[in-house]
Amino acid sequence: MKAIRRLGARLRNSATRHSYDQRLREEMEEHLALQIAENLRSGLSPAEARRQAILKFGSLQAIREDHHAEGRLLFIETFVQDLRYALRMLARSPGFTLVAVVTLALGIGANAAIFSVVNAVLLRPLPYTDPGRLVVVPEARPSANIAGAGMSWPVFTELRAHSRAFSALAGLAAHALTLTGRGEPADISTVVVTGDFFSLFETKPLLGRVLAPGDGKQGAAPVVVLNENLWRSRFGADPGILGTPVTLDMRSFTVVGVMPSSFRTPFFTQTDQLWIPLVDDPLFSGWTTHPQETHWMPVLARLQPGISFAQARTEMATFSASLAIQFPEEHGWRLGIESLQSAIVGDARTPLLILLGAVGFVLLIACANMANLLLTRATARQKEIAVRIALGANARRIARQLLTESLLLSLLGGLAGLLLAAWAVSSLASLLPADLQQMRAIHVDGPVLAFALILSLIASLLFGLAPILFAAKSDPQAHLRESARAGETRGSQRVRSMLAVAEVALAVILLAGAGLLLRSFARLTSTGPGFVPDHVEKAMVSLPQFQYPKPQQWTAFSNDLLARLQAQPGLTDSAIAAPLPIADTFVNLPFTIVGAAPPPPGSANTAHFATVSPDYFSVMQIPMLRGRLFSADDSPATTPVALISEALARRYFPHQDPIGQQLTFGFPPNGHVSREIIGVVSDIHDASLSSAPGPMMYVPFAQAPLWGGEVVVRSTLAPADVAAAIRATTHSIDRNLPVTAIESLPQAVQASFAAPRFRTLLLASFSAIALLLAAIGIYGVIAFSVSRRTREIGTRMALGASPASILRLVIGESAKLVLLGLAIGIPAALLFTRYLSTLLFAVRPTDPPTFIAVAILLVLVALTAAWIPARRAMLLDPMVALRCE
């Protein structure tokens, strides 16, 4: 109570400082007057009476100051006073302030920007109810190095029936269905879900209801839930939409609900989407019965309250063991538990953390530079500080004032940095894979502001302490007596050099990392994909399965389409294929070699699969190595044939001719067709440029058709004309067919390494900033050293030293700094680049050429930075130099 009252009094005093001061002074004077009068009465002379009274009273001024210190919020007042002084000091040297603020803005801004991505992706919880309990249940087969696969349907139903760890379990898959009858036919991203999908997320629809387990039963009327965006764009936000039919793949679905656009399906994050029960899907409903062993369905679950991740994992291990007995083909597969958050983030995590570390180093370099700058400045301000000490400021007061200046600088830098970050974040989304971009919006929000503020405070301490520790604790008398320069202590010069060395070492780490990524990226882009993408245009044509239910129709359509395309001038080099390398997701299928011993259960051989029309290899320019290619004669009526890639031939037929051998494989539901190998084609990078080409199997489209595919055309015509021709030709057969994913193949290849290109670019820019800052740091140290040694250099020259030897002297000093920095930086970089290894393609983290290049670059930059002050030293007039003090 008393404490509160006193604080109240202090606040009041701070506001009404003058009136109390006035009163105190009046009262004290009264007291003195009374005392003097009394002393006079006791017979003292007037002068003595006054003297005695004052002696007895004590120092008026000291008492008043004591009262102030006790009675007011001295801390804040001092701070405000310091702040005003600091503002004046900064305003008086705008050049220094600008350099300092820009340096810090780069450091803090880069950190805030990268942190905003980290915050959005790794820290912010997913936008679902109680997201910490949402998990993914992936299947893995450690023996075959397969992880994160989907679940097969029998395993899913078994798990749903017996698991006690989950309160809800749902599978999902996605593809496109054709929406007709509402304007231009369009492929709509369709999420195919099992009954518990929506109850898993505990979300509420905007209109109507969500899908319920009853909708997933055989025989129930097909229903659909629309996303709000689709409802607005395609259905004019019709409030009476519920109960009306929509046509998907020529089949009627009844709309039962609309989900708010804020709800995003994990992994399938397009916003213009709809949801249908798995049973009603033309494609995936078939997969619940036919391909028992295919692991196709991602499964999500919500943990039962009170069940920990470890308990759930234990249950999955027990369950996997029992599965292997029930389903022999499940032998070797393991069910796991992974948090939904980490499953969604996936591979994006490592590059983000690496970039965060990199910007941390940039900030450290910026701080080292600032410390150097402030040390130089503090030396120049020795006289000012000495005067203040002589006038009665104690060391603590001076330190506080200097810290206030650093704090002000770093807050200004932080503010500028935040502006920089806010401007940069929109482009930073490219760091993330597309579905993650949709899922997690990146912006500068509360946590990012807090992060930037904390960084500014830490930075101000880091660089603010240097001048206090090494510059402020000097003897004021020495400074007042001597010139400012003499006050420069040996210690502070050493600190300055150490800071420059540290900057070089940190820059080495960043440059080594960026160098490795650059080299890796160069390797990646110079890797031929195995086909020639230039001048190839692609477009996807898909056939609604309810309208075109029979494989014969698919074959007839593709033959018709290709015939019409090839009849047009400039489009003769056309083919159809599914899937396309790099542009599409690869399809991995198990196969067996006819006549060979069957592999043990659960260890099936697999290879990537593609079904292609005869001209595919000439369009893509994939060379044939042996045998023959597909021809128009390979039809459903003739022997099933296949082509294999070099890798498959090498691995599975090492000592024999594969031609004439038979493989059994096929796209579900025709998984068990024996096909004769008729030729070997060269390897291609099917999945991505960064993964090595694996075994591939090709089949003729006519013998293994799909409901549509990718049309590829090699043409010298303009890409837009080719795209228009594909569209027109398709519509000349059926004007309700959607033609989508139109792209040139070089574009698709480019897009596949957009993420590595962007992070390489970012790390390269960060290390460029680091290099620049380190160069400035070296320049600062050398320039200061030269100006400090002006007289010494003058003496040397007067005694006959040649300009060249002076140049050597100065350059040598710089070389010493950079060599020391390299000696520390290179081992440190070797420690850190290990973390890059997962991002590197065909480059080892210890790649000697990269490290040598970094070392040479730094030496060159250091010598350049030292060149200017060295030249100045060399051109000194000895007479002027000797007289300079």
Residues lying near another protein in the complex (CB under 8 A)? 2, 5-6, 9, 12-13, 20, 23-24, 27-28, 30-31, 33-35, 37, 56-60, 63, 66-67, 70-71, 394-396, 399, 468-469, 472-473
C-alpha–C-alpha distance, residues 198 and 511, integer Å? 48
What is the closest distance, in whole angstroms, from the C-beta atom of residue 5 to another protein in the complex? 5
Return the number of the residue (13 or 269) whose C-beta is nearest another protein. Answer: 13
**CA–CA dist 688, 877 (Å, integer):** 65
Nearer to another protein, 55 or 325 (CB): 55
CB nearer to another protein: give 35 or 740. 35
Q: Is 444 exposed, middle or buried (0-12, 13-18, 19+ CB in 10 A)?
A: buried
Count each helix (H run) and each strand (E run) in the chain, helices first: 29, 24
Smallest gap from Cβ 36 to another protein, in A, equals 11
Three-class SS of residue 193? Answer: strand
Residues 6+ apart with CB under 8 A from 80: none
**Residue 63 Cβ vs another protein, minimum distance, rounded to whole Å:** 4
Alpha-carbon distance of 450 to 456, in angstroms, equals 10
Least separation, in Å, of the C-beta of 473 and another protein? Answer: 5
For residues 30 and 202, which CB has a smaller minimum distance to another protein in the complex? 30
CB 486 within 8 A of CB 386: no
> How near is the Cβ of 785 to another protein at its closest, in Å?
25
C-beta of 87: minimal distance to another protein in Å? 24
Q: How far is the CB of 406 from another protein (least distance, A)?
A: 16
**Residue 306, phi-psi category: left (phi > 0), alpha (psi -120 to 50), beta (remainder):** left
Instruction: State in angstroms the smallest separation of the CB of 262 from another protein.
Output: 52
Cβ 11 to another protein, closest distance in Å? Answer: 11
Give the list of residues 6+ apart from residue 443 with CB closer than 8 angstroms, or none: 116, 120, 425
Closer residue to another protein, CB minimum distance, 22 or 732: 22
Task: Find where tokens 């009327």 sit.
Answer: 221
Give me the least distance between CB of 32 and another protein, in Å please.
9
Please name which of 449, 439, 454, 448 lies closest in space to residue 125, comparing C-alpha atoms: 439
**For another protein, which is the closer residue by CB, 24 or 44?**
24
Element (H, E) at 28: helix 17-41
Residue at token pair 């004590």: 58
The nearer residue to another protein, 19 or 732, going by C-beta atoms, is 19
Check whether the bond before 600 is cis (ω within 30° of 0).
no
CA separation for the pair 528, 516 (Å, rounded)? 20
> Smallest distance, Å, CB 28 to another protein?
6
Question: How many CB atoms lie under 10 A from the CB of residue 829?
Answer: 26
Whole-number minimum distance, CB 51 to another protein, in Å?
Answer: 14
CB 333 within 8 A of CB 320: yes
d(CA 362, CA 147) in angstroms, rounded, equals: 36
Instruction: Give the residue with the Cβ less far from another protein, 24 or 283.
Output: 24
3-class SS of residue 643:
strand
Nearest residue (CB) to another protein, 399 versus 659: 399
Shortest CB 687 distance to another protein, Å: 59
Beta strand pairing call for 662-665 and 673-681:
antiparallel
Q: Which pair of structure tokens corresponds to residue 497?
A: 């050099």
DSSP character at residue 845: T
Q: Which is nearer to another protein, 69 or 597 (CB)?
A: 69
Contacts of 89 (CB under 8 A, 6+ apart): 405
Beta strand spans in 499-628 (E) = 536-542, 573-578, 588-593, 605-612, 624-627
Distance (Å) of CA 134 to CA 92, 137, 138, 735: 58, 10, 13, 44
The nearest distance, CB 466 to another protein, in angstroms, is 13
> Smallest gap, in angstroms, from Cβ of residue 405 to another protein?
17
3-state class percentages of the chain: helix first, strand second, coil last, to nearest 5: 55, 15, 30
The residue (of 399 and 673) whose beta carbon lies closer to another protein is 399
And the tokens for 28?
């004290």
Three-state DSSP string of 729-773: HHHHHCCCCCEEEEEEHHHHHHHHCHHHHHHHHHHHHHHHHHHHH
Contact 392, 78 (CB under 8 A): no
Exposure string for 814-825, b = 16+ CB within 10 A, e = fewer: beebbbbbbebb
Q: Say if CB 188 and CB 176 are below 8 A apart.
A: yes
Considering the complex, what minimum distance in angstroms separates the CB of residue 501 from another protein?
Answer: 23
- Alpha-carbon span 122 to 349, nearest angstrom: 7
- Comparing CB distances to another protein, the nearer of 102 and 399 is 399
Q: In the complex, what is the shortest distance from the CB of residue 3 to another protein, in angstroms, rounded to a whole number?
A: 10
Q: 780-810 burial, b for 16+ CB within 10 Å, e for fewer?
A: bbbbbbbeebbeebbebbeeebeeeebbebb
Query: What's the closest the beta carbon of residue 52 comes to another protein, in angstroms?
Result: 11
**With respect to another protein, which residue has the nearer C-beta, 402 or 516?**
402
What is the greatest pairwise CA distance in the chain? 142
Which CB, 24 or 324, lies closer to another protein?
A: 24
Give whichever of 10 and 523 is closer to another protein, judged by the CB atom.
10
Measured from the CB atom, the residue of 20 and 653 that comes closer to another protein is 20
Residue 491 or 636: the one with the smaller Cβ distance to another protein is: 491
Q: Which backbone phi and psi does 292 adopt, to 5 degrees?
A: -60, -35
Q: Indicate the residue among 26 and 77 with the shorter CB distance to another protein.
A: 26
